């Protein structure tokens, strides 16, 4: 199983039936494909609607998500202006947001919007989401393309927000911030504690019930 699919399948188990959820562009958008049976979430898009649906052939390409990608809408969806959309986010009405990350550190800080010297389209709604959502889940690969850790003692890139990350899910592990402490809770199948330690620059605790990661079985052949 590819890393991104494994991450998305694990994140899918973090969402509860009835949640209002914002999925960031890229890897987070895969999460909706793996929601277990009986779990239905309402997807919110900061450009002005709730009720995003899957993209289907022939879909109206004038309906796009916050990343500008054509998307479907589901029965019961509602559209509104950006001001109302950000009132929902800033008012704490989004249960969870799932975002990608460039770096996360042991103080729950997130950097995910720019690399100095490279073209930046803008932060978008990320800084509002990490502040307003009740839970912030970061879905990202454990290391950068050059093999360097992305979970650090301190972020080196410009921050999106300070102290707002709740959970980190990678292809190696699941971490949670418990009482302000970065805590390793789960390891991916076949991954050892030593492998996780070698790929992580941050200091972290290991949960007493540290166990193998479970993933959504949606669509997997038995």
Catalytic residues, by residue number, are: 46
Joined together, the tokens standing for residue 151 give: 């979970």
Please enumerate in sequence order all residues whose Cβ is within 8 A of that of 80, keeping only pairs 6 or more positions apart, or say none. Answer: 48, 49
> For residue 179, how many other CB atoms are within 10 A of its CB?
6
Contact 4, 206 (CB under 8 A): no
Q: Is the dihedral of CA 178, 29, 54, 221 positive or negative?
A: negative
Contact 139, 152 (CB under 8 A): no
Q: Which residues of the chain form beta strands (DSSP E)?
A: 20-23, 42-45, 49-53, 72-79, 96-99, 103-105, 110-111, 136-139, 151-152, 167-169, 173-178, 181-187, 205-212
């Amino acid at each position: 199983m590819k890393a991104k699919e494994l991450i998305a399948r694990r994140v899918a188990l973090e969402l509860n039936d009835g949640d209002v959820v914002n999925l960031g562009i890229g890897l987070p958008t895969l999460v909706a494909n793996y929601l277990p049976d009986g779990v239905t979430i309402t997807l919110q898009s900061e450009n002005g609607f709730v009720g995003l649906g899957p993209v289907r052939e022939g879909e109206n390409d004038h309906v796009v998500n916050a990343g500008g990608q054509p998307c479907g809408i589901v029965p019961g969806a509602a559209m509104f202006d950006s001001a109302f959309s950000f009132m929902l986010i800033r008012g704490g009405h989004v249960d969870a947001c799932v975002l990608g990350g460039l770096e996360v550190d042991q103080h729950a800080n997130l950097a995910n919007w720019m690399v100095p010297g490279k073209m930046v389209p803008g932060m978008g709604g990320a800084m509002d989401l990490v502040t307003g959502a009740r839970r912030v889940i970061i879905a990202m690969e454990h290391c950068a393309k050059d093999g360097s850790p992305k979970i650090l003692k301190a972020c080196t890139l410009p921050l999106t927000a300070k102290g707002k990350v709740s959970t980190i899910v990678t292809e190696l592990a699941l971490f949670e911030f418990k009482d302000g402490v970065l805590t390793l809770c789960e390891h991916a199948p076949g991954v050892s504690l030593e492998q996780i330690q070698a790929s992580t620059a941050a200091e972290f605790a290991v949960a007493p019930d540290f166990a193998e990661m479970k993933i959504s079985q949606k669509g997997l052949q038995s």
